[in-house]
Amino acid sequence: METTRDWTIPGVTVGFAAVAVLGLLFLPDWLMNLTVIAFARALAVVGLMVLWRTGLVSFGHALYFGLGAYTVALLGKDDGISEVLITLPAATLVAATVGLFLGFIVRRYREIFFAMLSLAFSMVLYGILVKTEALGSTDGFNVRTPTFLGFAPEDAGTTLRAIFLVLCALCWTVAVLVHRYLQSTLGRLTTAIRDNEIRVEYLGYSVAQAIHGKYVMSAALAGLGGGILAIALGQVDPDSMVNWTVSGELVFVTILSGPGSVAAPFIGSMIYELIRTYAFEWLPHAWQLIVGVTLLSIIFFLPGGVWSLLARLRRREVE
C-alpha cells in the first residue's frame, strides 16, 4: 500500500519534549504561566476541532470547561482533595458524564441549532453558579494548591513548573490518542458525516451514535482543560470559567488553529494568548479590536487556520 509518512506523532513528541525542557530551562514565569493557560485551553480546543471536522460548532463548551474547573475546586474545598492524580481525572469524568447525558439531546441537532443548544446549556450552569452563594456566587472561590503524587511544592514558582510539566505530558498524551483516533474508522467518520450523513447511515453506521461519542470526547477534554486552568489560576468564578465569552474564546481558537492536525490547537492557542496579552498591553481599553481584526484576517486569508499556513509552507519546501 502506498502511504505518505505521517510525522504527526514524532512531531508532537519532539515538540512537547522540547517545550517541556526549554520551558523549564529558559521560560520566565510570566511566559510559562501564559503557556499553561494556552495549553489548558488547547485541550478543550482539540475536542472542538473533532466536532468541527464533523461539521458541528459548539458555542457552549464553557459548560464542560467550567464543570472541570469547579470539580477540581470543589474537591479541594475545606481541606479536601488536592492530588492532581485524583482531581484531574474527576474533572474529566464529571464533564464526560454530563456530556453523555446531554449528548442524547444535542446529537439530534445540526448547524445553528446544535450551536445554540450547547450555548443554552452552558448559560444554565452559569446562571446556577452566579446564584449559588455557597460557591462564591460571581466572586467564585479559591482552589487549593495542588499536590503531585503526594509532592507538595513549597512555593508558587515550583507549583507552576510542576503544573507545566504535568500539562506538557497530558497534552502529548491527548495529541497522540486523538491523532490515533482520527486515523481509525470512527475518526474518519468526522469528515464523512460532514460530507454525507445519508451515506454513513446506508453503509451501516449510526450517525447519531458517532456524533454522541465525539461530543462526549470533546466534553471530557474541555473538562480536563478547565480542571488544569483552575489549578493554574488558583481560583474559579463563573465569568472566567463558564460564561459565554469563554465558549466564544474556545471557538475563536478553534478557527485560528484550523482542523488540519492535533498539533494545531496548541500552536493556535499559544498565538491567541500572545496576541491577547500584547493587545491588552498596547490597547488596554480596546484590545478586543486587535483580536477581532485577527479573527477577520484568519477568516479571509487563512480559512484553514494557522495550520494551513504551516502545511502550505511545508508543501512549498517539498516542491
Partner 1 sequence: MSALLEARGLNKSFGAVTAARDIDISVAPHEIVGIIGANGAGKTTFVNMVTGWLKPTSGRILYEGHDIVGRTPRQITRLGICRSFQVAQIFGSASVFDNLLIALGIAEARGLAALRLLRRPDLADKADALLARYGIADYRDQSAGTLPQGVRKLLDIAMAMVAAPKVLLLDEPTSGISSDEKFELMDVVMGALKEDGVTVLFIEHDMEIVGRYVSRVVAFYQGEIICDAPPLVALADPKVKEFVIGEDLHNQTLLQGGVLQEAPDARG
The footprint of partner 1 (CB under 8 A) covers 1, 3, 181, 183-189, 191-192, 194-196, 198-206
CB of 185 to partner 1, least distance (A): 3
Smallest gap from residue 180 Cβ to partner 1 (A): 8
Task: Answer for the pair 37, 226: CB distance below 8 angstroms, yes or no.
Answer: no
Q: Are 265 and 254 in contact (CB under 8 A)?
A: yes
Task: Output the smallest distance, CB 103 to partner 1, in A.
Answer: 17
Q: Which C-beta is closer to partner 1: that of 28 or that of 204?
A: 204
Between residues 15 and 55, which has the closer beta carbon with respect to partner 1?
A: 55
CA-based R_g, the chain, Å:
19
Which residue lies nearer to partner 1 by CB, 6 or 111?
6
* CA separation for the pair 205, 190 (Å, rounded): 12
Query: Based on CB atoms, which residue is closest to partner 1, 56 or 253?
Result: 56
> Do residues 270 and 38 touch, judged by C-beta distance below 8 A?
yes
Closest contact distance (angstroms) between CB of 100 and partner 1 is: 18
Residue pair 35/27 in contact by the 8 Å Cβ criterion: yes
Query: Per DSSP, what are the bridge partners of residue 236?
Result: 141
Residue with smaller CB distance to partner 1, 184 or 301: 184
Least CB distance to partner 1 at residue 153 (A): 38
Q: CA–CA separation, 21 vs 15, rounded Å?
A: 10
- The pair phi, psi for residue 2, each rounded to 5°, is -75, 130
C-beta of 83 vs 197, nearer to partner 1:
197
CA distance 134 to 144: 16
| Min CB(8)–partner 1 separation in Å | 13
Nearest-CA neighbor of 39 among 299, 209, 276, 253?
253
CB 58 within 8 A of CB 43: no
**Sign (positive or negative) of CA dihedral 241, 158, 151, 144:** negative
